[in-house]
C-alpha cells in the first residue's frame, strides 16, 4: 500500500532540512499561508492562460465593486471626519498659540494616519466582507471545485482580480478620502460659518488651509500616500480570499468567516500601519541628525 508521506526530506542535507523545517513552520501558520496565497496570486498574472482582455475586464469589475459602490458612504464619512478635524485643529491650536502647526497636524491626521486607516477600515468592512461571502459561497456550492476540475485555477480566476482590483480601488479611495476630508470639510465649515454667523470664530480661508497643508507635505508623505493604501489593499483582499477559501463545507461558516475576515483585516491594517510608521521615525531621526 502506497502511503502518502514525504520521504524526500531524508535525502536533504542538514542545512536543507533546517530550511525545510523553517519553511514548513511558516507555511503551517495562517500568516505564512496568506503570504503564500498573495505570492501565488501575483505569479498567476503571468500564467499561460493570461488574457489581457478578460483580465482587464475582471480587474475593472473588481475595482468598480470595491471602490465605486463604497464611494457615497466614504464621501460622507470623509466630509464629516474632515469637518471635525479642521474645526478641532483650528480652534485648539489657535487657542494654544500654535497656529503655525495647523498644516502639519492636518497632514499627520488626515493624509498620513487616519485617512488611509479609515478608508481601509471602510473597504475591509464593506468590500472585504463581500469578497469573503462571495468566494465563500462559491466554495460551499462546489463552484470553486468545479473551476479546478475544468482546469481553471481558482487563485487566478477569483483571487488575482480581487487582489489587483481591490488594491487599485483602495489606493484611489484613499486619495479621494483625503481630498474629500479637506475639500468638502472646508466647504461644510464655510457653510456652518455662514449659517451660524461665525459663532465658531474661525478665520479660515482656502488659501490659508491649502498653503499650510502643502507646506507641511514632505517627500516621505508622497511616498507613503502611495505605499500605505497599496499595502492595506493587499492585506484586505488577500485576507478576505484566504478566509473564504478555507471555509469548511457548512453554510453556517460563511458569516463566521466574514466576521473573521473583517476583524483580522482591522488587526493586520493597524499592525502594518505601525510598521510603516517606523519609517517616519527614521525620517525624523534623519532630520534631527542633520540639524545637530
Partner 1 sequence: MNNEALRIEDLHLSFQGLAGTKFSMPRSLSFFDKTRDNDREIISGANLVLQRGETLCIGGPSGQGKSALLRVIAGIARPSAGKLYYFGEHIPPERQTALEIAKRQVGLVFQNGALISNLRVRDNIALPLRYHKKGTAQEIEEKINMAMDLMRVRDFANFFPHQLSVGMQKRVAIARSWAMDPELLLMDEPTAGLDNYNRRNLLPLIDNMRTLFKTSIIIITHDLMIAKELGCNLCFLYQKKLTEPHPFDYWLHANNDISKELFRDLRTSG
**Residues at the site binding partner 1, with contacts judged by CB under 8 A:** 1-6, 24, 27-28, 33, 36-37, 40, 49, 51, 54, 137-138, 141-155, 157, 159, 241-242, 245-246, 248-249
**Smaller CB separation from partner 1, 17 or 215:** 17
**Smaller CB separation from partner 1, 51 or 289:** 51
Query: Rounded to the nearest whole angstrom, what is the least distance from the CB of residue 166 to partner 1 in the complex?
Result: 16
**Smaller CB separation from partner 1, 54 or 91:** 54
Query: Rounded to the nearest whole angstrom, what is the least distance from the CB of residue 149 to partner 1 in the complex?
Result: 4
Which residues does 18 contact at the CB level (< 8 Å), separation at least 6?
none
Query: Rounded to the nearest whole angstrom, what is the least distance from the CB of residue 24 to partner 1 in the complex?
Result: 6
Query: Rounded to the nearest whole angstrom, what is the least distance from the CB of residue 198 to partner 1 in the complex?
Result: 53
Q: What is the rounded CA–CA span in Å between residue 136 and residue 245?
A: 6
Expressed in angstroms, the distance from the first to the final Cα of the chain is: 74
**Smaller CB separation from partner 1, 58 or 119:** 58
Q: Is 12 left (phi over 0), alpha (psi -120 to 50) or beta?
A: beta
**Smaller CB separation from partner 1, 147 or 272:** 147
Q: What is the rounded CA–CA span in Å between residue 251 and residue 245?
A: 13
Query: Rounded to the nearest whole angstrom, what is the least distance from the CB of residue 257 to partner 1 in the complex?
Result: 12
Q: Which of 210, 222, 220, 235 is nearest to 279 (CA)?
A: 220
Q: Which three cell numbers stand for residue 240?
A: 478576505
To 10 degrees, the CA torsion angle through 265, 271, 272, 273?
Answer: 110
Amino acid at each position: 500500500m502506497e502511503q502518502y508521506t514525504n520521504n524526500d526530506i531524508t535525502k536533504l542535507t542538514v542545512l536543507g532540512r533546517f530550511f525545510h523545517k523553517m519553511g514548513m513552520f511558516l507555511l503551517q501558520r495562517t500568516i505564512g499561508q496568506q503570504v503564500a496565497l498573495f505570492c501565488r496570486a501575483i505569479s498567476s498574472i503571468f500564467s499561460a492562460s493570461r488574457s489581457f482582455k478578460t483580465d482587464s475586464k475582471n480587474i475593472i469589475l473588481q475595482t468598480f465593486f470595491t471602490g465605486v459602490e463604497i464611494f457615497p458612504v466614504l464621501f460622507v464619512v470623509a466630509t464629516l471626519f474632515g469637518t471635525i478635524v479642521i474645526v478641532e485643529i483650528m480652534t485648539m491650536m489657535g487657542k494654544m498659540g500654535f497656529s503655525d502647526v495647523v498644516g502639519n497636524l492636518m497632514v499627520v491626521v488626515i493624509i498620513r494616519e487616519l485617512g488611509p486607516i479609515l478608508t481601509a477600515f471602510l473597504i475591509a468592512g464593506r468590500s472585504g466582507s463581500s469578497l469573503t461571502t462571495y468566494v465563500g459561497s462559491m466554495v460551499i456550492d462546489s463552484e470553486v471545485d468545479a473551476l479546478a476540475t475544468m482546469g481553471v485555477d481558482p487563485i487566478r480566476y477569483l483571487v488575482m482580480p480581487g487582489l489587483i482590483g481591490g488594491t487599485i480601488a483602495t489606493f484611489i479611495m484613499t486619495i479621494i478620502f483625503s481630498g474629500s476630508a479637506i475639500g468638502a470639510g472646508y466647504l461644510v465649515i464655510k457653510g456652518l460659518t455662514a449659517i451660524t454667523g461665525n459663532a465658531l470664530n474661525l478665520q479660515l480661508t482656502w488659501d490659508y488651509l491649502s498653503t499650510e497643508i502643502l507646506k507641511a507635505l514632505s517627500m516621505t508623505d508622497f511616498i507613503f500616500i502611495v505605499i500605505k493604501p497599496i499595502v492595506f489593499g493587499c492585506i484586505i483582499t488577500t485576507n478576505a480570499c484566504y478566509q473564504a477559501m478555507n471555509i469548511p463545507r457548512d453554510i453556517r461558516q460563511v458569516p463566521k468567516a466574514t466576521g473573521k475576515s473583517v476583524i483580522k483585516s482591522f488587526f493586520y491594517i493597524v499592525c502594518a500601519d505601525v510598521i510603516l510608521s517606523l519609517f517616519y521615525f527614521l525620517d525624523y531621526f534623519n532630520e534631527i541628525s542633520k540639524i545637530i
